[in-house]
């Protein structure tokens, strides 16, 4: 059996008012490499994530859906420019991404219509991207997204903080967040989520303004949030959200159950008739 045609990928350094952003695009074989001609999936990473930490998932997603997939490092992460913001971050930082880094990504790549796909806090950012770009976002996919600040979420963050007391863990994180950004990345996550000023944060505002169909994927054993999170997302969105619980799965379904996530995403896009062009 001949090997599957290889994907084409390209990288970009994009300007934003606060600094350079790193982005990468995966193109399925034989697809015209022009974003304005397609409806790509845009990936928004988690609190410690970056483009490289999506690993092979973007390529698998591009191949399975036949769409271009775009991922970018938020300011302060991965290969994007360092972010000197004082910590903890303000409660509005999740919403701010839709109007800041994501808006710069759209402008820099000439990105018109899109599907937003976010993991963990990136899911919250993806929801705000949909809410703030209603004429352009055709679909929303959240994976392990936090809807509010739950005790279980805080316990998971505190446990992870203790694990990073081992300097080897921070060194590993530094492989992905270049130029000494790893400490800021870790502190931004821990200090912000454990801050009393963040305790009342929620995604209610974004979900009530949701303009498009939404698939909420969540692992039944997610150590950073119970299944109350996707249920609230469905409640707040007024029926635009379908919840799918992945049994026996923890916080990173796209890594733990990649084939299942790809299949569920494909079914969602087909059922909602979200075309690729």
| HSE-CB of 127 using CA atoms within 13 angstroms | 33
Q: What is the DSSP letter of 85?
A: -
Q: Which domains does the chain have, with CATH numbers?
A: 8-271 (3.40.50.1820)
pLDDT in tens, 9-43: 999 999 999 999 999 999 998 888 888 889 999 99
Residue 48 has pLDDT above 70, yes or no: yes
Q: Is the peptide bond before 58 cis (omega within 30 degrees of 0)?
A: no
pLDDT in tens, 234-275: 999 998 999 999 999 999 999 999 999 999 999 999 999 988
Sign of torsion over alpha carbons 167, 171, 119, 187: positive
Q: What pLDDT is stored for residue 4 in this prediction?
A: 60
Give 172's pLDDT tier (boundaries 50, 70, 90).
very high
User: Distances in Å between the alpha carbon of 72 and those of 30, 31, 105, 200, 207?
Assistant: 23, 21, 8, 28, 23
Q: Find, among 195, 200, 117, the residue nearest to 157 by Cα.
A: 195
Interval 192-217: pLDDT, tens: 999 999 999 999 999 999 999 999 99
């Amino acid at each position: 059996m001949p090997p599957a045609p290889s994907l084409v990928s390209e990288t970009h350094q994009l300007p934003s008012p606060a600094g350079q952003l790193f982005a990468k695009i995966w193109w399925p074989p034989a697809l015209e490499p022009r974003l304005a001609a397609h409806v790509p999936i845009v990936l928004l990473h988690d609190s410690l994530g970056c483009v490289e930490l999506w690993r092979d998932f973007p390529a698998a997603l591009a191949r399975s859906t036949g769409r271009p997939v775009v991922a970018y490092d938020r300011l302060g992460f991965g290969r994007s420019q360092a972010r000197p913001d004082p910590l903890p971050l303000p409660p509005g930082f999740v919403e701010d991404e839709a109007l800041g880094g994501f808006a710069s990504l759209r402008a820099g790549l000439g990105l018109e219509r899109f599907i937003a796909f976010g993991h963990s806090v990136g899911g919250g950012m993806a929801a705000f991207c949909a809410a703030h770009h209603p004429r352009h976002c055709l679909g929303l996919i959240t994976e392990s997204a936090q809807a509010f600040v739950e005790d279980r979420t805080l316990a998971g963050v505190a446990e992870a903080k203790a694990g990073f007391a081992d300097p080897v863990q921070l060194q590993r994180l530094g492989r992905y967040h270049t130029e000494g950004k790893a400490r800021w990345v870790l502190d931004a996550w821990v200090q912000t989520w454990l801050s009393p000023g963040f305790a009342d944060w929620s995604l209610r505002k974004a979900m009530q303004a949701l303009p498009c169909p939404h698939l909420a994927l969540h692992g039944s054993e997610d150590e950073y949030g119970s299944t109350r999170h996707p249920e609230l997302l469905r409640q707040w969105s007024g029926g635009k959200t379908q919840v799918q619980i992945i049994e026996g799965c923890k916080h990173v379904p796209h890594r733990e159950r990649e084939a299942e996530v790809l299949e569920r995403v494909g079914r969602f896009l087909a059922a909602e008739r979200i075309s690729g062009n």
